[in-house]
Structures are given as structure tokens and as C-alpha cells.
Structure 1
Amino acid sequence: MTAAVGIDIGTSNTKVVRVERGVGTTVLNRATPAGLDDLLALVVAGLRVATEAGSVDAVGVASMAESGYPLDADGRALTPLLSWRDGRDVIEIRSLADRLGADALFEATGVRPGPKPSLAVWLWLRAMHPDTFAAMHRWAGVADAVHLALTGELRTDHTLAGRTLAYRLPPAGERLAGSFDADLLTEAGLRPDRLARVGLIGDPPSRVRPEVAAETGLRAGTPVVVAGHDHQVAAWASGVRDIGQVADSVGTAEAMLNLVGRVPDRAAVRRQGMSVVRTVDGSTEALLAGTGSAGGFLQWLADRHADGEVSDLLALDSAGKDALAGGGWLLPYPAGRQCPEPDPAIGVRLVGPPPAHLGVAALEAVSYQAQWVLDSQAALSRRRTAQLSLSGRPLHRSPLWAGIRATLTDAATTLTTVAEPVASGAALLALHRAGLGDEAPLLSQQVQPVDGLGDRYRERLRDFIASARQPGP
């Protein structure tokens, strides 16, 4: 019987899950620390608990993208985690985009030039913290840093490399590169040998170092893989692998991965605030759209109206379902809107009369926003959604959430029943890439639309979009 451990280093929490016979058991779930030493200690603690339950055949590491550490020559982090959600100046990346052309950069990489990609972080470090930049021997994405500690090899996955703005995305049908792009790195004063090697499909996995084996309880030589970008890993694990399928991964943020096969117009995708990526299989093109807050918006409201308790915000009385599609609606943008039709200045706003239930209105707001993204992706790809797969712990906080999503879309909708799909998916991918497991997806269940509200919700969606396009007060 094979067993694997999946590690998910998320924006808010780090999870470690042991998977046996397709069933995952969470052995650790704690806040993600900023310091690399603290993060590695957390991972070691999780692995130690996981191995106490029995031997482990493979380890997979998934993480948030666009986040990492500058490392010195001894592999020590020179700063705390530099995260995608950190606020920083954008002067350097704007200057680069002006000089090279934003559309040209997007055509080359599939990534919008802005403050989040790693290339922007390196430009910022060089300009604002030259001593740190000069001392940086290598850069490690957050998953790459954990892989380095476990195996001694600095590797990443193409799904993470593809979020850096320093990795070329070739035309559909052409093979991905095994390294970062030298010309793009030159713009930040770097070389490919300062970054991780990019793992591709078919590459053999790295192996756990003997000293790490003694510390964690793993066997020396256990295969370790960087499974990839957390949202992409959850999509693969949920069975989203065919053109026409969409994976919606909900956490603090939300990401919609729409497998379209080939993107007709990359520049149009950039203008809508989305990205073009290759999926876990390395060949299928997809549209990736992000919303900065989904579960995060619920927490934002709970902090202001429910003493920080999301469960209290969403608590329903016997008349809870009667609140659906009632009253006004919320615009769920505590930090602006990334897509579609990007608007960094828009904020949270109530449109119309007070809603009948604030928690229900919050679920409807993030659902309207998500459906607007899906409709925009369909227009860009000229392909309708055939299946929508939902996953993520926040979706399990209320039985209404998935039902609202299924009501708004015309596609068959499923909900992955596993509470930690990213960590579980990282474990399954590790087994698969080590040749020890099949490609069976995580368990899911069909989601039924809310009876009698389809037309009403589509009407309210049109009104929501119209109001979201209006400038704020």
C-alpha cells in the first residue's frame, strides 16, 4: 500500500496531509510564517507526524505563486518571505513595460506586467535594496525553497515558473523550456543559473537527503517533487484535465482555470486582467483569472460585522434560504478588482436596499464576481464552459455557496469533497510523477442549482455587472 505526503504552503496557512488509498488525513494546519527557518521547521514537524503513521513513498510540495526568498551563498534567506500580496512600488516594472511593451511582455510570458510577478520583485530589490540584491546568490520560490531543504536541489515546476514574468510561454503546441529566459532575466540583472531548474513532465524526481530523512522519519531517497502552483494542483487533483472544463479553487483568494486548448488573442486576455498558462500536463493552454478575495472577503465582512467570526456571519436561521436573491447586493472589492475590466480604485459598496441577510449577500457577491469572470473567459476563448469544478475549504462553510454558483452557470457543477485539495493533490501528483500511483481524481459530488432562482440570478448578475462598471462614490 502506497502513501504520500502533500504540503500546501498557502497565503494564510500551511497544510500537511498524508494520503493513503486516495484518502487524505490532515496532520498539520498552521499559519504560514514569514521566516524561511520557521517555515522549514513547520514542514519538518508536519513530516514527522505524517511518518509516525507509517512509511511514506513520495512527497509533493505545492505553494502560492509569485512569492519567495532571496538566498545567500549558504542558502540562508536574506529577507522574510516576499509575497504576492505585499505592497511595493511599481515604478521599475512599469518602466520595463513601457520600454519593451506590455503586450509584447504578455505575448512572451502570458503574464501581465505588474507588482506581483517575481521579475517585478527582483527589479524592486535591485532599485530599493541594492545591498540585499548584491548579496542574493540565488532566488527560491517558496515551494522551491522547501524542495531545496529536503533534497539539496533547487527545482521548481513550470506552473510556478510561468507566474514569474521571466519564463517564456511558447506558442500552443510547442514544448516548454527547462530553464528561465536569459533575456528577460538580464533585465533584472540575473542569470538562469541564479534560479531554480524548471521541472517538466517526465523528469525524474529529486530524493530526500539522508540527514533530512533522520530528522523527519522519511526514508533516505524518498522521491520529492515540486507539484506546482496551488490552484493548478487543485485543478488537476479535482479531475479538471480536458478542454472545456473549468476549475474554481477557492481559498483566501480565488482562481479560475479554464482549459481552452489554445488562446486566440493573448493581448485581449491581458486587457481583461487575466493570464495565459500551461496546465499541469505541460501542453494544454488555459486562461487563469484571479480574484484577490473570496474567502478573504467573507473574513473582511466578518471582521466588521461579526467579531471576526465567519461562521457567525454565515449562520442561517429557519428563514435563511428566503434571503436568497433578496434586497440589494454587495460589490466584493476590498482591494480593487483584478479582472475582468481591472479597476484598482473600486471598493466594497452596497447597491440598492440593505440585503435580507449579510452573509447570504456576501456569498452571492463573490458568486456574481466569479460568474462574471467565467463569462468573460468564455468570450475570450470563444468556448463555452462544459463543466465547472469547485474546490476549497471555504466552500464548505455554507451549503448555499456551491448551490448559488451552480445556479448562475449553465454548466454541470461538482464540488470536491476533500477539505484540502491542494495538499492532497500534491501528494497524488508526487506518487504519479514517481511512477507509484495512477491519475484517479479526488472524490467530488454533483451540485444542484437552487430551484426556481435561475432566471432571477442571471438578471441580478447583469445588474451586478452594470453597477460594478460604475465609478464609486
Structure 2
Amino acid sequence: MILRRKHMTQEASSANPNPEPPYILALDIGTSSTRVLLFDATGNTFPNVLAQRPYQLRITNEGEVSVDPDALVAVVRQTIYDSLEMAGPLAQHIGAVAIDTFWHSLMGVDADNRPLTPLIIWEDTRPHQAALELREQLDEAAIHARTGARLHASYWPAKLRWLATQAPDTFARVAQWLSFGEYLYRHFLGRSVCSLSMASGTGMLQTHARAWDTELVDVLDVRPEQLPPLGDLHESVQGLTAAYASAWPALCNIPWFPATGDGAAACVGSGCASMENWSITIGTSSAIRVVVPLEQVIPPMGLWLYLIDARRAVLGGALSEGGNMLSWLDSILKLPSLADAESLVAALQPDGHGLTVLPFLSGERSLGWHANARMTISGMQAHTSPADLLRAGMES
């Protein structure tokens, strides 16, 4: 795996002359980069405290999409260093650390919290056959009603069944199964809480009971103690390990709140925290979501239901494609930069290219949930241009 690093040297901003403390250091861990921002007590950002470092996933022809968890920890660590350097004396007023990270990731660790597997990302389609087997074995509609998730390659049940089949010795050695947020906190703080938000994205949490699903635990040959302890977003962890306490004294004796799912954070952060406002986000993937009261909603089969916290849920659907498809088109078509290519695309009439694109580079999630679906471009002719293909891809 290759890590691409770009050092940012911005200094702390003076644009807000009287920022109200305490400040919040916010970590955003996506599937292409990590970012750290600083907020004041009123929710305003310090515009010159923005650290970002890109990284690359391991992607293979077999459908693997993963990353070395320790390599990703190193990227996050350096991004925090960058942000504290930018903040300067403002760092002394940081009162808490908050984090969001991608949903659905899975890794196994031993009794000493050392990784036994790579961190498997939601895009990984290798477990699609395991998902089909589970659909034959279990009542998928009942599981979806309990967990808010289908039996699909992106979720933990299919991943666990696939790992038990493909790597039984490793599967047997795993002390606990974690997502990246928990592993990161164990590295920095020595312990972790799995938030209800992150647990709801595994496909193994009974959302209304707010507990791990016992049927899935039994069927997948997972012991209850192999799943991380649950908590809500207010159940913070405090006290860095010795190495980080000396490196980041400003962050040592303050609460680090449990990781929340990036989609949940996107809803709240964009002001779409009620049923009146829906959010559409396009990052590496894309999704449409609405915040709903947990007790009032049973999701239809094509959609999912995850949690923000113990009271609020996020109902929605997602495509595995978004910016990743534009990046793929850009690399394949050898276009100018996307910023320059946008003018070429803007000059074309909507749907004037005669192309139909099914954008399933990483399989389908909502609404059909076919993990082995693949991208198709139909309608290409001799005069089809790269700009036509890019426009069709955007419109898809």
C-alpha cells in the first residue's frame, strides 16, 4: 500500500477575534483522507485550522477493498499533529475530541489488540457469496426489521461468514471484532467504547433493543465477548496512553467521545437533523438520508436504518459510487483535472450524450443490494467523447 502525504502548514486563524471556549477538535476519517478541524463553543470553525492527509486503499481484481489499520492510524496521528501545530496556543483551550468515521468496516484483533486481519472496508465485495448463503439460511426480512440492514457483503455478517470460511485459523484466533473507530481509540487511549451509531452500521445490532443480535451471534459462531462493549455518544474515554500523553498534553485529560458514523455526522452537520430536511451527500460514495425518531420507523427492505444515538435514527439509501467513479473515469479517460473538465461537461445538454450508465464499480447497495453487480455503459458510438462519458457518469 502506498500512502500519499501532503503536509499542510497553515497557521491558526485570527478571523474570529473572540472565539468562545471550550474548543472541540473534530476528526473526520473517510475512505480517501483524514481531516481534523477545530470548532469553538458556538459551532464555528477556525478556518485556518484544517489539516488533511490523503491515503490509498488496497483494491484488487478479486474485489478486495481494505487498508492496513496501523498505516491508517499513522495517517490519523500525523493529521492530529498537523492540526495542533496549526492551532498553536489555541490548543490549550480544547475541551474535547469528537470523531466520525466510515461505517461498516471490520477487523479482528488478538488479546493484546494487535491486528490479525486488514481493515475490510464497506466496498469489499468478496463476501457477496457468503451474503447469499446467509439469505438462504436466515429470514432476511426479520433480520432487516431488527437490525435495519440487509444481508449484504458490506455488513459484518457476510464478512464474518466469509472470513470463517476463507481464513478459519485466523478467525479462531480473534479475541474481538472491531471497526476502525474502536481500534484507533485503543491505540491512543488504551480502551474504547463502540457507540450505538457505529454498532448500527455493522448489520448486527438490534436497533430498537440497542443490543447485539443473538441469532446472528449464534449463526456466525461469534462469542458475545468477541463483540465490543456498547455505549452512547456521551460515554467518553479520557486519558491518553503514555506515549501520546507526552506528545499531546492538550488532549490528555479531556473527554474523547466515541466515534459516530460519518453519515450520521453528515446529517447533523448539514443542519438536516429532523424529518423536515433530507440530506444528499456525495463523497467517495453517495447517499440520501433523513433523521427520524427511532421508535416510529421500520425501514422498507430497500433502505437501511442506522442510529445517531439511542433516540435518533437515520433512514436512507446509499450507492457505493460517488466521487470514486469520477476519479475512475478521470484516470481511465485521461481527462484534464476535474475542475477543468467541469467546463467541458457544463457545455453539454443534459442526457444529450445518448448514454446509459449503471455505476456499480463496487457492486450495488440500495435499492437492489446486488453486491456482484458491475458497471455497464450502454449507447457508446464512434463520436462519443470523454466529456460525454464523464457527464453520463455524473448523471448516473
TM-score interval, smaller chain: 0.7 to 0.9
**Aligned match for 2:44, one of 13, 17, 22:** 22
Alignment of 1:213 onto 2:245: yes
Residues 411-455 of structure 1 show CA distances to partners (whole Å, capped at 9, x for unaligned) of xxxxxxxxxxxxxxxxxxxxxxxxxxxxxxxxxxxxxxxxxxxxx
Equivalents in 1 of 2:78, 2:374: separation in Å? 42
Q: Structure 1 27/89 Cα, relative in aligned 2: closer, same or farther at 3 Å?
A: closer
Q: Secondary structure at the match of 2:256?
A: strand
Equivalents in 2 of 1:45, 1:300: separation in Å? 27
Equivalents in 1 of 2:383, 2:216: separation in Å? 49
The residue type paired with residue 140 of structure 1 is L
Q: Structure 1 99/75 Cα, relative in aligned 2: closer, same or farther at 3 Å?
A: same
1:128 — aligned with what?
166
Equivalents in 2 of 1:45, 1:141: separation in Å? 20
Cα deviation for residue 135 of structure 1 reads 1.2
Cα deviation for residue 91 of structure 1 reads 3.9
Equivalents in 1 of 2:146, 2:118: separation in Å? 30
Cα deviation for residue 13 of structure 1 reads 1.8
Q: Secondary structure at the match of 2:288?
A: strand
Q: Structure 1 263/314 Cα, relative in aligned 2: closer, same or farther at 3 Å?
A: farther
**Aligned match for 2:264, one of 229, 232, 236:** 232
Equivalents in 2 of 1:324, 1:93: separation in Å? 37
Q: Structure 1 135/342 Cα, relative in aligned 2: closer, same or farther at 3 Å?
A: closer
Using structure 2 for the length normalisation, give the TM-score.
Answer: 0.79
Moved over 6 A (4+): 352-357
Residues paired across the two proteins, number: 354
Q: Secondary structure at the match of 2:315?
A: strand
Equivalents in 1 of 2:182, 2:309: separation in Å? 19
Q: Which moved more, 1:12-21 or 1:231-240?
A: 12-21
- Give the fraction of aligned pairs with identical amino acids, expressed as a percent: 21
Cα deviation for residue 363 of structure 1 reads 5.1
1:38 — aligned with what?
71
Q: Structure 1 338/220 Cα, relative in aligned 2: closer, same or farther at 3 Å?
A: closer
**Aligned match for 2:366, one of 302, 323, 339:** 339
The residue type paired with residue 277 of structure 1 is Y
Cα deviation for residue 51 of structure 1 reads 2.3
For the 8 Å contact 1:97–1:105, the answer to whether it is kept is no
For the 8 Å contact 1:63–1:229, the answer to whether it is kept is yes
Q: Secondary structure at the match of 2:278?
A: strand
Using structure 1 for the length normalisation, give the TM-score.
Answer: 0.67
Tell me the C-alpha RMSD between the 2 structures.
2.8
Cα deviation for residue 189 of structure 1 reads 1.8
Q: Decide which structure has greater helix share.
A: 1
Which protein, 1 or 2, shows the higher relative CO under an 8 Å CA cutoff with sep ≥ 6?
1
For the 8 Å contact 2:28–2:34, the answer to whether it is kept is yes
Equivalents in 2 of 1:132, 1:206: separation in Å? 30
Q: Structure 1 331/12 Cα, relative in aligned 2: closer, same or farther at 3 Å?
A: same
Alignment of 1:198 onto 2:224: no
2:215 — aligned with what?
183
Cα deviation for residue 58 of structure 1 reads 1.4
Equivalents in 2 of 1:129, 1:322: separation in Å? 50
1:50 — aligned with what?
83
Alignment of 1:326 onto 2:352: yes
For the 8 Å contact 1:14–1:32, the answer to whether it is kept is no
1:167 — aligned with what?
205
Alignment of 1:95 onto 2:133: yes
Q: Structure 1 8/265 Cα, relative in aligned 2: closer, same or farther at 3 Å?
A: closer
